Amino acid sequence: MDRTTRKSAAILTAIMAVEAVPLVLTLLSSPPGVAGRLWGWHPGIAAAWVGAAAVATAYVLYARHSLPLVRQRFFDIDGLKLLVVPFAIVTGTFEELFFRKMLMDWAARAGAGALVQIVASAVIFGAAHAVWGLFGRQWRVALGAALATGVLGALLAGLYLLGGRQVAPCAWAHMLINLAIEPWLVMAAVSAGRDGWARRGTA
């Protein structure tokens, strides 16, 4: 295992561990049936499910087009890729609970309209993902990551509202994106100077 692979595995594990703690605590303190609301099929919001599939597909295709490493290793299966399975479940679920449900519901209770909720969710989501650029020690990469994930955050926020504030479509879209393009996205950030991320300024 080379240095980049080891560092990528360490980053994935650390992020998963940090987000797993509040996710598990949330599930344990929630009433029965919350898992069904998080991951289950909700009839009556077909448009949100279709939108989730479209958002996930579009973002994965965008990442493959923009990042040579993602494109080259997209179908590779190894130990690092297998680590992404629990990573995708934990991060996809927790981040949608936080950046969509918790943040947007709080904004709604504070009197913010739909547009403000979407913008707030997108900006904070994008800012949080600027950390990918810091892994590669590239400020330009950080900006690119923030912009790309900010757009994704806006789309997921729109899905959340489209689905009547049901988080499941957003969580599934997020999990599928992570499952498809990790760990190559992390490896691209770690080796930003070599894989073209910094040149393209993308997330």
Residue with tokens 């790309």: 148
Query: Residue 109: is it exposed, middle or buried by C-beta count within 10 angstroms (0-12/13-18/19+)?
Result: exposed
More confident residue, 20 or 130: 20
DSSP state, residue 165: T
pLDDT at 200 over 70: no
Mean pLDDT value of segment 157-168: 96
pLDDT at 134 over 70: no
C-alpha Rg value of the chain to the nearest Å = 17
The first and second tokens of residue 23, run together, are 């996710």
Phi, psi for 75 (deg, rounded to 5): -100, 5
pLDDT at 70 over 70: yes
96 and 156 in contact (C-beta within 8 Å)? yes
Give this prediction's pTM.
Answer: 0.89
The predicted structure's pLDDT at residue 135:
57
Termini Cα distance of the chain? 25
The first and second tokens of residue 66, run together, are 């923009």
